Amino acid sequence: MKGRSSDRGVLAGIARKAMIESGLEPDFPPAGLQELTAFASPACAAADMRDLRDRLWASIDNDDSRDLDQLAVAESLSGGRTRLLVAVADVDALVRKGSALDSHAANNTTSVYTAGGIFLMLPEALSTDMTSLNEDQDRIAVVADLVFDANGSLAASDLYRANVRNHAKLAYTSVAAWLEGAGAAPERIQTVPDLDENLHIQDSLARLLAGLRHRQGALTLESLETKAMFDGDNLSELDLDRKNRAKQLIEDFMIAANGASATYLESKGFPSLRRVLRPPKRWDRIVQIAAGFGEHLPNAPDSFALEAFLVRRSVADPEKFPDLSLVVIKLIGRGEYVIDLPGGKPPGHFGLAVKDYSHSTAPNRRFPDLVTQRLLKAAMAGEPLPYTVPELTEIAKHCTEREDAATKVERRVRKSAAALLLSGRVGELFDAIVTGASPKGTWVRIFDPPVEGRLERGSIGLDVGDHLRVQLVHTDVERGFIDFVADAPPLVKSQA
């Protein structure tokens, strides 16, 4: 199975099979492709839209991203206030509700990113071109216009449609290095007048917003996501994709814009599709883990207390903090989509410490964002709801289920890539941490390479967060299986 000359092809086949088995459609339907032929150009601006093309809009995304959903620009105001504008691609202008392309998006509900290929929610001709906020191109967008006081609290907000222009396509890695003083400014920052100053205003605002959220109980967590790296068609390593200052900047702005979208719909008497994360059911285990560090957490879920504990651990042991973060993330659980009716009380987002939170800033990649965009546009225009409440309720349930399915596909292919990488190391010993423990089984993650697998023997008495020594005993690339046993004598000297 492990032909080193065809690792990329092997993973592509596994990814496609995983999509189908999960009920996701890897290909666009013929009717959707036929619809695509009717699109000759991006949607044009209407006469009543604001013209904001002269603003210093810029995008910051992954180094290889081509589906650009949002732009941002900021300006300093009197009294220490800051104005932030976030432009979101108007995908609905071309992808109409009920069309074949919309039906495909409604089924999958998200783009799926794997080492075996990317399964886009919308065709490339749209998501990376006609509905993407590409550099030096005029595009229409839904703009969140936000004003923040000097302490980071929201003073005013509005949403409207506008014509925008991306003056700089920037990447997280290089922007973060520049902001942190570890690298030169990317070429576009050097050549676009005043862009460097604007980005410094954005950076200052983002840190202010993050500081305020964390004081309100937002959690400091650092997840360890891996990305498969190839040398030609050969898998060479699994690279850790860590947070950086530029990623944090965009995350903080998207949280602000998503909150503004939710409150805007509430103000118009519209229901909204909210993203929520309920208090963790396994809070007792989080309390036990904190006690292992000599810390005390209250018996009931408390984001303020948990955040204070996490901050202290990140300072005390930054090298091992990602491992603690992973454990806490596993115990907190996954978010879900719910419908909030006007005047309702949504459960909010435990990890972000926000009550009003939608998903609205990535309509090229996520169907809930496209649905929210249609709700926003109808509210702006004074038009009736584009979806009934029962339809929205079903969409929320379906999007949660499909997101879980997409996550499983991505995890399955990551495991297959990891199995490829480890297939020649059966018998070696590794340090590990327990990442999952249930009647279905116990899972552990080793540290180098950062790979998760099932503990086939020696799991009695173990729980999430426990550290142990494991031996790799089996890999199955096709099924993405990586099997370990605990406390086994080494067959070969450990190289971990």
> What DSSP letter does each residue of 407-419 carry, written as one string?
HHHHHHHHHHHHH
**Number of residues in the chain:** 496
pLDDT digits (tens, 9 = 90+) for 179-191: 999 999 999 999 9
3-state helix, strand, coil in the chain (%, to 5): 40, 25, 35
Is residue 135 within 8 A of residue 170, CB to CB? The reply is: no
Helix axes 245-267, 367-381, angle to 10 degrees: 40
Task: Please tell me the number of Cα atoms within 13 Å of 21 on its side-chain side.
Answer: 12
pTM of the model: 0.89
Q: CB neighbours of 329 closer than 8 A, spacing ≥ 6? A: 221, 223
462-472 burial code (b ≥16 CB/10 A, e <16): bbbbbebbbbb
- CA distances to 123, 144, 146, 399, 402 from 274, in Å: 26, 17, 20, 11, 16
Residue 305 has which token pair?
Answer: 């207390």
**CATH tag for 423-486 (out of 3.30.160.270, 1.20.1260.60, 3.40.630.30, 2.40.50.140):** 2.40.50.140
pLDDT digits (tens, 9 = 90+) for 468-487: 999 999 999 999 999 999 97
d(CA 389, CA 270): 10
Tell me which residues of the chain have a pLDDT lower than 70: 1-5, 347, 351-354, 488-496
Domain definitions of the chain by residue range: 4-277+337-415, 283-333, 423-486
Which pLDDT value is given to residue 475? 95
Which pLDDT value is given to residue 5? 52
